[in-house]
Amino acid sequence: MKKREFLKKAGAGTVATVAAVNAPYVHAQSKTTIKWRMQTYAGAALAEHVVKPAVDSFNKVANGQMVIELYTADQLVPTGELFRAMQKGTIDAVQSDDDSMAAPVDVSVFGGYFPFATRYSLDVPVLFHQYGLNEIWEEAYGEVENVKWLSAGSWDPCHFNTVKPIRSLNDLKGLRVYTFPSAGKFLSRFGVVPVNLPYEDAEVAVQTGELDGMAWSGITEDYTVGWADVTKYFLTNNITGAWIGSFFANKEKWDALPAHLQELLRLAMDSSHYYRQHWYWGGEAKLRTGGTKLTLTSIPDNEWAQVEEEALKFWDEVSASSPRSAKVVQILKDYTGVMAKAGRPYRYT
């Protein structure tokens, strides 16, 4: 009997020991998954390229510790309200340009398509990582309550795709186009009429005659999102070589993330920036040469030079708006000078 009692107690002790050893693992697995809602400026078809691959990768590698739910343009809130919604915590993260979501900072004018600030997509990461724009953006958003600016990257160039051909500056007069706020303000100097409406309504607006086209993207997006199906012409002249967009987060939510998830999210954003670099660069050339839906038109160089000259006046006006804006404009001027002096392949003219 004593032997039996000993064996019973020993068995119970073994079970308790195993349970104790496994308890931390079981407890760790039962922790609630962190869930974020991110909204992008892009519609569903475009989001498949500009953000979804990176979000899918993040969710996979986060291994159940965190999940980002992705929403496309205007799905939760209108694009113009993205900043305030993120600030309040209605949504946790945003992918957008500063300009479109009306970010209340002086550098917001440089987000999206600031006229002739860039010639190629690689200009954007160089300006941010090597010419000080990272630090300037961090400073600007550090002055805003409960919003964390995370990372900027480049998208496509800004061209016109329209229902009627553009072959001279005179053809821009009265043209009703869907475009970004700062780009529209600049283009209005040449008679363009910027029209503000929800992203997903732009295609229908062309079909109903409310719009004459878009000055919103390069040719890759025109084909991807369906705009090449409702317009006929693509102007090869562009007002900017690459769109500047960023990732942002609600600061309280960002600060609450473990350090390893913050780092993982930064890596996912870098992955998104890299994907867009080659997707747009290859797509722009391929669809100009092999696309069958849009006829290419051009404005002569001597006429287009007037647009480039006007852009420098626009820069100076923005420079006068704040000391920080003046600093950004000076960086753009310095960078443009370096690229021009470097010559081919950095600049051809």
Please report whether residue 21 resides in a domain: no
- The region of weakest confidence among 30-34, 48-52, 87-91, 338-342 is 30-34
Please report whether residue 2 resides in a domain: no
Please report whether residue 3 resides in a domain: no
Q: What is the pLDDT confidence band of residue 106, given thresholds at 50, 70 and 90?
A: very high
| pLDDT, greater one: 260 or 10 | 260
CATH number (domain holding residue 221)? 3.40.190.170
Q: What is the pLDDT of residues 266-324, one digit of tens each?
A: 999 999 999 999 999 999 999 999 999 999 999 999 999 999 999 999 999 999 999 99
pLDDT value at residue 15: 47
Domain extent, residue 189, equals: 35-349
Q: What pairs with residue 295 in β-bridges? A: 233
pLDDT value at residue 23: 47
Q: Give me 334's structure tokens.
A: 């310095």
Please report whether residue 11 resides in a domain: no
- Please answer whether residues 147 and 251 qualify as being in contact, where contact means their C-beta atoms are separated by less than 8 angstroms: yes
Given a cut of 70, is residue 207 above it in pLDDT?
yes
Strands of the chain (E only): list them.
34-40, 66-71, 93-96, 147-154, 159-162, 176-179, 193-195, 213-217, 233-235, 244-250, 295-297
The two counts, helices (H) then strands (E), for the chain are: 13, 11
Sign of CA dihedral 256, 258, 259, 262: negative
Please report whether residue 117 resides in a domain: yes
Q: What percent of the chain has pLDDT over 90?
A: 91
Q: Give me 44's structure tokens.
A: 């569903």
Please report whether residue 93 resides in a domain: yes
Q: What is the pLDDT confidence band of residue 5, given thresholds at 50, 70 and 90?
A: low
pLDDT value at residue 272: 98
Q: What is the pLDDT of residues 161-171, one digit of tens each?
A: 999 999 999 99
Count of the separate structural domains present in the chain: 1
Please report whether residue 85 resides in a domain: yes
pLDDT value at residue 71: 98
Please report whether residue 22 resides in a domain: no
Q: What is the pLDDT of residues 240-264, one digit of tens each?
A: 999 999 999 999 999 999 999 999 9
